[in-house]
Structure 1
Amino acid sequence: MPGFAPRSRRRRAMNEINMVPFIDVMLVLLIIFMVTAPMIQPSRVDLPSVGNSASQQQDAVRVVIRADGAISVGRDRQGQPQDIGSSGLAAAVQAAQAGSPEVPVLISADKTLPYDSVMQVYSQLKQAGVQRIALAVQPVTTR
């Protein structure tokens, strides 16, 4: 039988991705997250205190936010701060700066106050054009 040519059986390359291992990995990750998610406790952020900070050299405007949300504004070396509402905050700070935008403003807040309240005061001062704003920290006392 002439004319029979030997056929070569070549393996064709498989051009499909095997999805089974990917699905197995995803299911294992899903189970891990489902088990660990109820165990995660929402944490509380304790803001740091400063150990040895340089003492304040310049007279500054101090904005004090108490635990009840009341705000008072005053200069460091000029007696008691005056209680104001949140609506008059920008005007009171600019009056305490006495037309000098270089005077820094320190925001002091009660430890139990939510951080969002402090950032709202900070935002109000930034929108009013106050240039130098800082958050005051309490120094760590050594025992």
Structure 2
Amino acid sequence: MQGPFNRGSGRKPMGEINVVPFIDVMLVLLVIFMITAPMLTQGVQVDLPQVTSEPIEKSDDRDPINVSVERDGRYSIWMGDDEPREVDLDEIANRVIILLERSPGTPVMVHGDRNVPYGQVVTLMSTLQVAGVANVGLISEPPGGEG
């Protein structure tokens, strides 16, 4: 007696999908992404345009905390009309924490010399982030040195 799925040929119907071709395609895509991913994270050298921007308006009467990176790699910090005080990178975080505890929400502005390596400015901004600074303003001059 033959069952409903037995067609007399002795072969049973196959209820699976052959996934071997899909695995092959996934492995090829994996290799392609492994090769192209490092290329996407590398930077290219570009000349950034000089543009004119509107000055930041003070939202209150608080003087900002100013931090500068000088051409020779020295750091300075000052607030308001105080004289800039030369400090090392580790001391910047401590001073900013103290100043922000006295006056929370005080803006922090970074003055970076145009000849300072980009990595040094990023290191300074990372140090400020560790100190709890949420927003950092970057100070610039208009093209041609006006101002």
TM-score by length of 2: 0.58
CA contact (8 A) 1:74 1:80 kept: yes
3-state secondary structure, aligned to 1:102: coil
Query: Given the alignment of the two structures, is residue 121 of structure 1 paired with residue 124 of structure 2, yes or no?
Result: yes
3-state secondary structure, aligned to 2:110: strand
Give me the whole-angstrom Cα distance separating, in 2, the residues matched to 1:81 and 1:93.
Answer: 14
Cα deviation digits, residues 89-112 of structure 1 (max 9, x gap): 101122333522300100111010
CA contact (8 A) 2:96 2:131 kept: no
Match of 2:105 in 1: 102
Equivalent residue in structure 2 for 1:61, among 60, 65, 68: 65
Shift of 1:125: 0.8
Query: Given the alignment of the two structures, is residue 73 of structure 1 paired with residue 72 of structure 2, yes or no?
Result: no
Give me the whole-angstrom Cα distance separating, in 2, the residues matched to 1:102 and 1:47.
Answer: 31
**Change over 3 Å in CA distance of 1:44–1:113 after alignment to 2:** farther
RMSD after superposition: 2.4
- Rg: which structure is higher? 1
The alignment covers a number of residue pairs equal to 100
Unaligned runs of 5+ in 1: 1-41
3-state secondary structure, aligned to 2:137: strand
Match of 2:90 in 1: 87
Give me the whole-angstrom Cα distance separating, in 1, the residues matched to 2:96 and 2:73.
Answer: 17
Give me the whole-angstrom Cα distance separating, in 2, the residues matched to 1:96 and 1:139.
Answer: 29
Query: Given the alignment of the two structures, is residue 135 of structure 1 paired with residue 138 of structure 2, yes or no?
Result: yes
Query: Given the alignment of the two structures, is residue 48 of structure 1 paired with residue 50 of structure 2, yes or no?
Result: yes
Unaligned runs of 5+ in 2: 1-43
Runs of 4+ in 1 over 6 A off after TM superposition: none
**Change over 3 Å in CA distance of 1:55–1:114 after alignment to 2:** same
3-state secondary structure, aligned to 2:96: helix
TM-score by length of 1: 0.59
Percent identity over the alignment?
23
Shift of 1:54: 4.3
